[in-house]
Chains A and B, each alone.
Chain A
Amino acid sequence: MMTLDDFVVYVILPILALAVVIVFVRLVRGPSLPDRVVAIDLMNTLGIGIVATYAIATGQSAFLDVAIAMALISFLGTVAFAYYIERRV
């Protein structure tokens, strides 16, 4: 019988890590700057998911504050990038 801890560590976190690797390929290859910004935004979102998963794995609910801060910073970063790209043209 698999405990929830094992399930989180051996199933969920590897899936999310694989997703990060896949997005990183797009970040490196992305033909244009907006493609790379989309990849970075998705990596931030994946980071929020990983932090939430880690909160369950360790039993520390304080990690949720990290997730909130990451969501805020990710939104600000994407908006700043979009503004910069649009003004640069």
Chain B
Amino acid sequence: MQDVLTGGLMLTGALFMLVGSLGVLRMPDLFLRMSASTKAATLGTASLLSAVAVFFSEIGVASRAAATIIFLLLTAPVAAHMLGRAGYFVGVTLADVTLIDELEGNYDLETHILDSCEPAQQFQQVADDRTSNEMTRSPNR
């Protein structure tokens, strides 16, 4: 019974990982590739680690497996977000089937700050005030 559960979890995890790597190979676009790799591979790893927890059925092993799963679930979205952001700034070409790029023109390519972001506008306001102050002050010197 335990072996059957272990084998089933392992087969599920391995197939999900295979599907994730196929997505990385076949998808037309960096962002689609990243979506395939992040979601499918994380689920596959979580399934394989659950299989380890079921196979050993000790509290120490199970807690370590659970800690690894939680760590993966926490870090995979962060890493994918940072990489996608970097790829967008590098100017990765989007797939031909892309209909709309809603971020287009909204990023300040110098400062990497989003235009619709409230704090960014406040910073911009402060910067504008500073430059206008300097301009009014400069004739006095």
Q: Which residues of A contact B (CB under 8 A)?
A: 3-4, 7-8, 11-12, 15-16, 18-20, 22-23, 25-26, 31-35, 37-39, 41-42, 45-46, 48-49, 52-53, 55-56, 61, 64-65, 67-68, 71-72, 75, 78-79, 81-83, 85-86, 89
- Across the A-B interface, give the 3 residue pairs with the lowest CB-CB distance, nearest first: A82-B82, A34-B87, A85-B86
A64 partner, pick from B17, B68, B87, beta carbons under 8 A:
B68
Provided the pairs A19-B18, A34-B30, A38-B24 are in contact, do residues A85 and B48 lie with their beta carbons within 8 angstroms? no
Count the B residues whose beta carbon is within 8 Å of the partner chain — how many?
Answer: 52
Q: List 12 A-B contacts (CB under 8 A).
A: A11-B14, A12-B10, A15-B14, A16-B18, A26-B21, A37-B83, A48-B49, A48-B72, A56-B51, A64-B49, A68-B71, A85-B89
Stretch among B56-64, B96-104, B117-125, B127-135 lining the A interface:
B56-64
Which residues of B sit under 8 angstroms from A79, Cβ to Cβ? 78-79, 82
- Interface positions of B from 1 to 36, Cβ below 8 Å from A: 3, 6-7, 10-11, 13-15, 17-18, 20-22, 24-25, 30, 33-34
Contact A38 B89 (CB under 8 A): no
* Chain B residue with the shortest CB-CB distance to A46: B17
Which residues of A sit under 8 angstroms from B51, Cβ to Cβ? 52, 56
Provided the pairs A86-B86, A86-B89, A86-B112 are in contact, do residues A61 and B58 lie with their beta carbons within 8 angstroms? yes
* Chain A residue with the shortest CB-CB distance to B112: A86
Which residues of B sit under 8 angstroms from A3, Cβ to Cβ? 3
Q: Is the interface of B mostly helix, strand, loop or mixed?
A: helix
Contact B48 A39 (CB under 8 A): no
Contact B10 A56 (CB under 8 A): yes
